[in-house]
Amino acid sequence: MFLQTAAASCSFLHMQERLQKIIATAGIASRRHAEQLIAAGEVTVNGKVITAPGTKADPEVDHIKVRGKLINPVLKKVEKIHVLLNKPRGYLSSVSDPEGRPTVTELLPPSLGRLYPVGRLDFNTEGLLLLTNDGEFTNFITSARNKVEKVYEAKVKGVPDEKSIERLRRGVTLEDGVRTAPAKIRQMAETGNNTWFEILLHEGKNQQIRRMFELIGHSVVKLRRSRIGGLRDDVLKPGRWRRLTESEVKMLTTKRPRKQSRSPNKSRVAGHGSSRP
C-alpha cells in the first residue's frame, strides 16, 4: 500500500520505504516494535493515523510522527551515503526484481544499508552508476533543469556517415514519437566493422542511445557510461564500488552558472552603446 501524498506525483517513488523501516532507521524502535506502534495507531503521516501494515512514505516530503513526536529531524541526522559503482552487464539498476534477476544492490555490502540507484543504466549497459540514501542528492542529479552531463561510449555496427551522425546531434524523433534533445557526439575510433562514439547527454530516455543508432541503421553492440557530471573513474573495475568524497559530492551538486543573457544591459536601455550583440 502506498500513501497518497505529494510524493505520489513525484518521479522518485523509489525513495519511499515502509514506515517500520523508517522508524527503525531513526533509532526509535526495532522494525518489529515499529510494526506494533503502527498497529496501535501511534504513528501518523501528514496528520493521518496509519494502521495498515506495509504502508510506505517518503521522509523527504512526508511529516512522520511517532507518539506525537516528529521524527524527520532525527532522520536528517542519519549519515548520508553516496557510492560510485562500476556496473557490469547483466545487472538491473534496481533494489529488487520480481523475475529474480541480479540487481546492482547485490554488489554492495549490507553494512552500507539500503541504497537506491540514482537514475538507471540498462540491463546490458556498463559503467558508472551512483547509489545513495540521500533523496536531495538523487533529485539534483536526475532533474533535467540542473543539466548534469552524462557521457557514454558506444560501439556500433558499421561506420555511420557524417550526415547520419549530424542528424542525431540535432535530435531525432524516436519510433514512439518521442523527440530527443540535441546531443554532443564525436567519433573516437574505427575497429574494422565497428565504430566507437562518445555521446554527451543532459537527460536520457529509456534506451535512448540504442534507439537513436537503430534509427540510422547501426545497432549498438556495447555501451558504457564513462562520466557523470565532472566525475570519472578509469581505475574502478567492473563490479567494484567506492564511496564518494565530500568534494565529489559538492562538485556533483553545484549548479552550473547560467549563460549570459543577450538582453540589453542598463546602459543600452538608457540609450547608450550599440544594440547589436
**In whole angstroms, what separates CA 28 from the centre of its chain?**
30
Residue 272: CB partners within 8 Å, gap ≥ 6?
none
Kind and range of the H or E run holding 195: strand 194-201
Active-site annotation holds for 122:
yes
Nearest CA to 19 out of 49, 43, 42 is that of 43
Q: Splitting the chain (277 residues) into consecutive groups of 10 residues, what average pLDDT does each group show?
A: 39 66 79 89 95 90 94 85 97 91 95 87 96 85 90 97 96 93 95 94 88 96 97 97 97 76 39 32
Residue 48 and residue 127: Cα distance in Å, rounded? 43
Q: What residue ranges define each of the domains in the chain, with the CATH number in brackets?
A: 6-76 (3.10.290.10), 82-252 (3.30.2350.10)
**pLDDT at residue 230, rounded to an integer:** 95
Q: Show Cβ contacts of residue 276 under 8 Å, excluding neighbours closer than 6 positions.
A: none
pLDDT at 53: 86
Residues with Cβ within 8 Å of 186's Cβ and at least 6 positions away in sequence, in order, are 197, 198
pLDDT value, residue 226: 98
> Looking at residue 264, what is its pLDDT?
41
Give residue 243's pLDDT: 97
The pTM of the full predicted model, rounded to 2 decimals, is 0.72
Q: Which of 122, 134, 176, 234 is catalytic?
A: 122
Residue with cell 540507484: 117
Q: Given this model, what pLDDT does residue 9 score?
A: 36
